[in-house]
Amino acid sequence: METGSHPYVDYLKTLEFGGREGNYFDLPGLGGDKYDRLPYSIRVLLESGIRNCDGFQITSQDVTNLLDWNQNQDKKIEIPFRPARVILQDFTGVPAVVDFAAMRDAVKSLGGDPSLINPVCPADLVIDHSVQVDYFRSELLFCSSEALTRNQAMEMERNRERFVFLKWGAKAFKNMLIVPPGCGIVHQVNLEYLGRVVFNSGGLLYPDSLVGTDSHTTMINGLGIVGWGVGGIEAEAVMLGQCISMVLPQVVGYKLTGVVSSYATSTDVVLTITKHLRQVGVVGKFVEFFGPGVAQLSIADRATISNMCPEYGATVGYFPVDDMSIKYLRQTGREAGSVEMIEKYLRAVGMFRDYSNSEQDPAFSQILELDLSTVVPSLSGPKRPHDRVSVSDMKTDFSQCLQNKVGFKGFQIPADKHGASAPFSYEGKDYTLKHGSVVISAITSCTNTSNPSVMLGAGLLAKKACERGLSVAPYIKTSLSPGSGVVTYYLKESGVIPYLEQLGFCPHTASDTDPNFHLVGYGCMTCIGNSGPLPEAVTTAVEQADLVAVGVLSGNRNFEGRINPHTRANYLTSPPLCIAYAIAGTVLIDFEKEPLGVDSSGSPVFLKDIWPTRAELQEVERQYVVPAMFRDTYSKITESNSSWNELEAPDSQLYPWDPKSTYIKSPPFFDGMTQDPPAVRDVEKAAVLLNLGDSVTTDHISPAGSISRTSPAARYLSSRGMTPREFNSYGARRGNDSVMARGTFANIRLVNKFMSKPGPKTLHFPSGESMDVFDAAERYRSEGRPLIVLAGKDYGSGSSRDWAAKGPWMLGVKAVVAESFERIHRSNLVGMGILPLQFTDGATTETLRLTGKEFYSVQVPPQLKPGQLLTVKTDSGVSVEVRCRIDTDVELTYYQHGGILNYMVRKMSK
């Protein structure tokens, strides 16, 4: 950074550390008492504003607005923010690189220099090992090291083409680091390895901050790094030097007191917080944790809480850096000189916390409180992550869900069917499935696999269970997918592997034991929908008796249709409880009154008999989770995958698109693009493609799981010579718009009010003909008819999937009219030039008596303003007032250009 003419150059100071020195902006000196009252998360935004103040994207007035946060927090003032880096997860990273490649082509076609399309801020790309988990024991008996090897070989076979493409991207674009497949889950790798906490860039020190193309980027907040999820579209703009435009957020202070009991885990804490904050309502706000209870939580505990920030709806769930953070940096093998620099810098700029010192507590918009001692063992489900249920109430709650009407807490099973059962044979033995039977138990997801206390807790529980002679039924599909190799390292060193192996976990050693908890790979698995198929005997039994079978997983998402099509109920819980419910084989159990099983002497074994104490866990973690493990694992991470190393990629500046490819394809976003943006047009006589209800997730809009053999995407791939075995998943094919457009609204659990049952179908109007959503959109396109989508509350909740906006754009959707929008998805819609419109004054399609069968028109004025009220008119004579949810002037500019990417192409081509 050139500081000579910088407006805040007078506030530059020098800091000495380890025989070196660096410059930094003296924030306390600039802000005085105002700065001392700022929430710590706002201090990070302020520093970025000061450092990047250029009088254009960021002005001195923006800095003043941030410094005056206490007076401005309720005024909806727009602020710019330039993160220090971007992190891309595999499935969202591929489309980002595809877009960059296509943008280079577009810039060249407009006469510009294509090399200008290049990241100007660091981009960390982590390729999750996230193939479908196809392994289960009826198929072949082999130890889980072979399961891991098989999945990794399958991943390379299926995804070689997109991996070659990514390697091209690493050569073509500067400032991009790629962590190869098979190395871990993006957020855990970020926490354990990539997180800088403080940058030293050319001698200038500043806080690490980031945005990531996955909503659970917030996990890094647990280490005191401000970061959150954005759509891939917005991330690309940041990588090209654009600021994020956002409304100055309110900051909710969440005070933690007390100590977690011996029977509760960090998972139970986060499920409790998630339910509480969802009830209070923190959408669009920052949540910052404080109070003496924070000091009782490890960084892994804090990261677990921060990870589920999207589930409680906040933008960030932030824990400022303290002594525990510094200890974690040392524990994870960070270089000693860097750790010294981090602590000295953060103390110098007033960003280092002592949670026991209330005098350091800043001002907050609102204060909430939780006594950690009140937290009890919990699950969340059966369909949403914030529907917490105490373990002690689980049996009663699930029974109630069976009879409740269809909804988030109901399946509406007739009373005479509650006792339904289905006998079946598996591996030569007879079993019976009932409502509530567990058929999937997965220790998965960055939420918990990054936390040694719950992972070792699962191992110690397995040890005690095995010693009492307990086991897991072989038809239950169990898996373990750690977030990094460090987990395998400390599970092995702590000696719990033989007991997990006895229940089925066998990471690197052959065994005669039939494995059950299989190490299937390092990455996002069951939590993202990659559980793979259940044994055929199980699926047949579930279907024949119409059973509500159950999946239990240590993840963060359990939306309908996400985990597995045959588990209608899915519960989030801690890794130890995943094992407990796998042993029990059902969720219809009261652990306090009913035993898990009987030991060899016939005595009952209760969960409390084998539950590890907190003292046991702390001692094992102290002994076996050590810096050498992290240093060893991460010292070779970028070169650890030999198959990746052997891939050869093109060296050209422009990507040589292969027209035969079914994985990588130049998208049509820039087709026919002109140097100047076209005039914004009204939406005239649009048909409703879908009429949807509340909590429609990005999984409903753009599923990531397997491609159904009867879907439009399958028909397309078949026409290109693909067999069903080669279809792979929508996630893996996010680089091909032809597949993704056909996969839009393709979730089997999508509830469209036009249809009598869930599924990816809709009605064409005025004909009333039922057809696949993609086919209906194509028919409307041939008729010259624009489209809109009607929806209820929280439209677009869930993962920050850019294809959930790109897909509807490709189908011809011009606007979405909803009761409310999830933050990231609303931004993504604007980023693709789709108009988000929100009903006002609590109106709904029902109160307005809109059937969705009408044709809709929206007049969009040439001088459209953020938040402006517009009128939607139907051909039936109804007029509806809606609010335009383009929230800032920058977003309005993007919309006028037809989206962020189009804006950037035009900017770079001039």
CA distance 527 to 699: 12
pLDDT confidence bin for 749, thresholds 50/70/90: confident
pLDDT at 141 over 80: no
pLDDT confidence bin for 287, thresholds 50/70/90: very high
pLDDT at 732 over 70: yes
pLDDT at 139 over 70: no
* Locus of tokens 């909503």: 215
| Exposed e or buried b per residue across 20-56, where buried means at least 16 C-beta atoms within 10 angstroms of its C-beta | eebbbbbbeebbeebbeebbbbbbbbbbbbbbbbeee
CA angle 74, 307, 437 (to 5 degrees): 125
CA angle 693, 699, 702 (to 5 degrees): 105
| Over residues 143-154, mean pLDDT | 58
> Which pLDDT belongs to residue 5?
81
More confident residue, 650 or 91: 650
CA distance 119 to 97: 10
Q: Which two tokens stand for residue 521?
A: 């790979």
pLDDT at 702 over 80: yes
> Which pLDDT belongs to residue 524?
63
For the stretch 74-107, pLDDT in tens is: 998 989 999 999 999 877 788 899 999 999 999 9
Share of the chain above pLDDT 70, in %: 93
Local structure of 739: helix, strand or coil: helix
| Over residues 604-625, mean pLDDT | 89
| Over residues 294-310, mean pLDDT | 92
> Which pLDDT belongs to residue 634?
84
Please give the single-letter amino acid code of residue 126: V
> Which pLDDT belongs to residue 4?
62
* Locus of tokens 């997180």: 195
pLDDT at 119 over 80: yes
| Over residues 509-524, mean pLDDT | 46
CA distance 834 to 454: 43
pLDDT at 694 over 90: yes
pLDDT at 157 over 90: no
> Which pLDDT belongs to residue 527?
62
CA distance 854 to 876: 7
> Which pLDDT belongs to residue 118?
93
Chain centre distance of CA 761: 27
Chain centre distance of CA 70: 31
For the stretch 37-79, pLDDT in tens is: 999 999 999 999 999 999 888 999 999 999 999 999 999 898 9
> Which pLDDT belongs to residue 33?
94
Q: Which residues pair with 872 in a beta bridge?
A: 858, 880
Chain centre distance of CA 101: 25
For the stretch 447-506, pLDDT in tens is: 667 788 888 999 999 999 999 999 999 899 888 877 677 887 888 888 888 887 778 544
Contacts of 723 (CB under 8 A, 6+ apart): none
pLDDT confidence bin for 15, thresholds 50/70/90: very high
The total number of residues written for the chain in this structure: 910
> Which pLDDT belongs to residue 677?
94
> Which pLDDT belongs to residue 149?
64
pLDDT confidence bin for 380, thresholds 50/70/90: confident
Q: Which two tokens stand for residue 761?
A: 């179908």
CA distance 743 to 736: 11
| Over residues 322-350, mean pLDDT | 96
Q: Which two tokens stand for residue 294?
A: 């924070």
CA distance 720 to 33: 66
More confident residue, 702 or 144: 702
Please give the single-letter amino acid code of residue 445: S
pLDDT confidence bin for 233, thresholds 50/70/90: confident
CA distance 732 to 706: 9
* Locus of tokens 């409680």: 312
| Over residues 611-631, mean pLDDT | 85
pLDDT at 273 over 80: yes
| Over residues 634-659, mean pLDDT | 87
- Please give the C-alpha separations between residue 629 and each of 50, 138, 330, 490, 900, in angstroms, as whole numbers: 38, 35, 12, 8, 42
> Which pLDDT belongs to residue 881?
96
pLDDT at 134 over 70: no
> Which pLDDT belongs to residue 786?
98
pLDDT confidence bin for 529, thresholds 50/70/90: low
Residue 145 neighbours by CB distance under 10 Å: 17
pLDDT confidence bin for 533, thresholds 50/70/90: confident
For the stretch 383-411, pLDDT in tens is: 988 888 999 999 999 999 999 999 889 99
